Amino acid sequence: MIDFTQYNNRNISDDYFYLDIEKPPVTWQGKFKRVVKRTLSGELFVGLWIVFREMIKFDIHTIQYPLEKLPISPRYRALHQIKRLVESGNQACIGCGLCEKICISNCIQIDTKYGSKGRKVVKGYSINLGRCIYCGYCAEVCPELAITHGQDYEHVSEQRAHYATLPDLVTPMDIFKAGKQKPYPGFGSLTPNADNNVKKTPLAY
Amino acid sequence: MESAYIIETIVKVVIILTVFSALAGITTYFERKVLAFMQRRLGPMHVGPYGILQVAADGIKLFTKEDIVPQNAVKPIFKIAPVFAAATAFIAMSGVPFLPEFTLPFTDYVVHPIVADVNIGILFVVGVMAVGMYAPLLGGMASHNKWSLLGAARTVIQMLSFEVVTGLSLIAPLMMVGSLSLIDINNYQEGGIGHWIVWAQPVAFILYLISGYAETNRTPFDLLEHEAEVVTGYATEYSGMRWGLFAIGEYANMFTVAFIASLVFLGGFNPIGIIPGGLAILLKVSFLIFLFLWVRAAWPHIRPDQLMWLCWKVLMPLAVVNILITGIVLI
Ligand code: SF4
Ligand code: SF4
pLDDT digits (tens, 9 = 90+) for A31-70: 888 888 888 888 888 888 988 998 888 888 888 888 888 8
Question: B107 alpha carbon to ligand 2 midpoint, in Å?
Answer: 90
Determine the distance from the C-alpha atom of residue B100 to the mean position of all C-alpha atoms in its chain, rounded to a whole number: 20
Per-residue pLDDT tens digits for B194-221 = 778 888 888 889 899 888 888 888 878 8
What is the average pLDDT across A97-108?
92
- The residue type of B102 is F
Q: For residue A18, what pLDDT is reported? A: 81
Q: What is d(CA B51, CA B65) in angstroms, rounded to the nearest whole number? A: 21
| B237 in Cβ contact with B145 (< 8 Å) | yes
B237: closest CA of chain A, how far (Å): 32
CATH class for the domain made up of A80-177: alpha beta
* The pLDDT value given to residue B126: 87
- HSE at residue B210, side-chain half, CA atoms within 13 A, is 23
Residue to mutate (ligand 2; options A82, A99, A141, A148; most atoms within 8 A of CB): A99
Interface check for A36 against chain B (CB to CB < 8 A): the answer is no
Query: Rounded to 5, what percent of chain B is helix, strand, coil?
Result: 70, 0, 25
Please work out whether the CB of residue A93 comes within 6 Å of at least one atom of ligand 2. Answer: yes
Digit-coded pLDDT (tens) for B159-177: 888 888 888 988 888 888 8
Task: Name the packing angle between helices B277-298 and B202-215 (round to 10°).
Answer: 60
Residue A139 CB–ligand 2 contact under 6 Å: no
With CB atoms and an 8 Å threshold, state whether B38 touches A44.
Answer: no
pLDDT value of position A73: 78
Ligand 1: atom nearest CA of A99 is 7
Instruction: Give the pLDDT confidence score for residue A188 in this predicted structure.
Output: 60
CA atoms within 13 A on the CB side of A118: 0
A65 touches chain B (CB under 8 A): no
Tell me: pLDDT of A3 over 80.
no
Q: How confident is the model at residue A12 (pLDDT cuts 50, 70, 90)?
A: low
Task: Name all residues whose Cβ lies below 6 A of ligand 1.
Answer: A 102-105, 107-108, 127, 132-138
Tell me what pLDDT residue A1 has: 62
Are B311 and B164 contacting, i.e. CB atoms less than 8 angstroms apart?
yes
Alpha carbons B182 and B99: distance in angstroms, whole number: 12
B177-211 in b/e burial notation, b at 16+ Cβ within 10 A?
beebbbbebbebbeeeeeebbbebbebbbbbbbbb
Q: What is the pLDDT of residues A153-190, one digit of tens each?
A: 888 888 888 888 888 888 888 888 887 777 776 666 66
More confident residue, A3 or A119: A119
CA of A139 to the centre of ligand 1 (A): 8
Q: How far is the CA of A126 from the centre of ligand 1 (A)?
A: 11
- The CA distance from A39 to the nearest CA of chain B, in Å, is 11
- Contact predicate A80/A127, CB 8 Å: yes
Assessment of whether the complete model's pTM goes beyond 0.80: no
A108: pLDDT confidence band, cut at 50, 70 and 90? very high
- ipTM at complex level: 0.76
Boundaries of every domain in chain A: 28-57, 80-177
Judged by average pLDDT, the poorest of B98-112, B229-243, B257-271 is: B98-112
Confidence of residue A110 (pLDDT cuts 50, 70, 90): very high
| Range A3-18 average pLDDT | 70
Q: What's the pLDDT at A190? A: 67
Task: Determine, for residues A58 and B295 on separate chains, whether the beta-carbon distance falls below 8 Å.
Answer: no
Contacts of B301 (CB under 8 A, 6+ apart): B219, B220, B221, B222, B223, B226
> B314 with B202: CB under 8 angstroms?
no
Contacts of B298 in chain A (CB under 8 A): 44, 47-48, 50-51
Give A50→chain B minimum CA distance, Å: 8
Q: Kindly state the percentage of chain A with pLDDT values over 70.
A: 90
Please give the single-letter amino acid code of residue B73. A
Distance, in Å, from the CA atom of B145 to the CA atom of A123, rounded to the nearest integer, reads: 61
Ligand nearest to the CA of A147: 2
pLDDT in tens, B137-158: 888 888 888 888 888 888 888 8
CA B168 to ligand 2 center in whole angstroms: 80
